[in-house]
């Protein structure tokens, strides 16, 4: 295991989360979007619908670990957890709250793939929805600041969605994301003044996460 990268109040590890987790301490909440076992190809060219630069789509390649069923039980750390994609592995989880991200415009509902994504929250038993269309230039701007760039990760989530997730929790000081991806949860933690621990196994996404989280802290210092 390599030494972690420290950026502000974020501690970032490049490696396998199952190997690194036993060394961690002080986790209050887990907020993560793990591989679901869908064998996601990472190729969005088939949805691009055109040949303009913005419509070229991206091909990130397969997601590590997405070729096998996911078992969330090893990640039930801290006092509470929010785990996205739980409709793919509900048999392993107890009763909790459903958090629903509606990611389509009304006119596009039912057009292709899923209209929403669902997370399990270990507290409560209600159902709460957050609506934000997040595609194309919106994903690119959050990832790199360039509206014409590729997305940072094939399953990239909006920063505001992760801020909403943090707000649903009971004031955790340290948040852990074992499948950090391009670092969106870490960016949200930086913006909200929470400590963050993140792990990412793929080097290219780890480097993107480090850059995005560093930029988030730079912006916070600038506004301060």
Q: Cα dihedral sign for 30, 36, 37, 40?
A: negative
> Residues 6 or more apart from 62 whose CB is under 8 A from it?
39, 40, 41, 42
pLDDT in tens, 43-93: 544 444 444 444 445 556 666 656 678 899 999 999 999 999 999 999 999
Helix axes 184-192, 203-223, angle to 10 degrees: 20
What's the predicted TM-score (pTM) here? 0.83
Residues facing residue 32 across a β-bridge: 83
As a whole number of angstroms, the distance between CA 186 and CA 5 comes to 13
Q: In angstroms, what is the C-alpha Rg of the chain?
A: 17
Whole-number Cα distances in Å, 169 to 29, 54, 119, 146, 194: 8, 36, 13, 32, 12
CB distance 13 to 1 below 8 Å: yes
Looking at the predicted structure, is the pLDDT value of residue 34 above 70?
yes
The tokens of 202 are what? 């793929």
CATH number (domain holding residue 156): 3.40.50.150
Contacts from 61-65 at CB under 8 Å and sequence distance 24+? Answer: 63/35, 63/154, 63/155, 64/35, 64/201, 64/202, 65/34, 65/35, 65/201
* % residues pLDDT > 70 (the chain): 76
As a whole number of angstroms, the distance between CA 66 and CA 36 comes to 6
216 lies in which domain range?
5-223
Question: Between these two residues, 48 and 122, which has the higher pLDDT value?
Answer: 122
Question: How many distinct structural domains can be found in the chain?
Answer: 1
CB distance 151 to 138 below 8 Å: no
Mean pLDDT of the chain: 85
Given this model, what pLDDT does residue 53 score?
44
């Amino acid at each position: 295991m390599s030494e972690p990268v420290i950026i502000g109040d974020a501690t970032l590890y490049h490696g396998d989360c199952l190997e690194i987790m036993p060394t961690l301490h002080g986790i209050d909440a887990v907020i993560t979007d793990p591989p679901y076992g869908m064998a996601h190809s990472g190729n969005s060219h088939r949805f691009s619908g055109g040949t303009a630069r913005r419509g070229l789509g991206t091909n990130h390649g397969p997601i590590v670990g997405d070729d096998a069923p996911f078992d969330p039980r090893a990640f039930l750390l801290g006092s509470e957890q929010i785990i996205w994609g739980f409709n793919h592995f509900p048999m392993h989880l107890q009763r909790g709250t459903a958090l629903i991200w509606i990611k389509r415009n009304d006119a596009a509902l039912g057009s292709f793939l899923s209209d929403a994504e669902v997370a399990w929250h270990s507290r409560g038993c209600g159902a709460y929805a957050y609506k934000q269309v997040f595609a194309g230039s919106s994903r690119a701007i959050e990832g790199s600041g360039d509206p014409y760039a590729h997305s940072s990760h094939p399953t990239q989530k909006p920063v505001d969605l992760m801020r909403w997730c943090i707000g649903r929790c009971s004031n955790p000081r340290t948040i852990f994301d074992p499948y950090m991806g391009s670092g969106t949860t870490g960016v949200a933690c930086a913006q909200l003044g929470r400590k963050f621990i993140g792990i990412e196994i793929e080097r290219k996404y780890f480097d993107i996460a480090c850059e995005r989280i560093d930029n988030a802290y730079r912006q916070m210092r600038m506004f301060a």
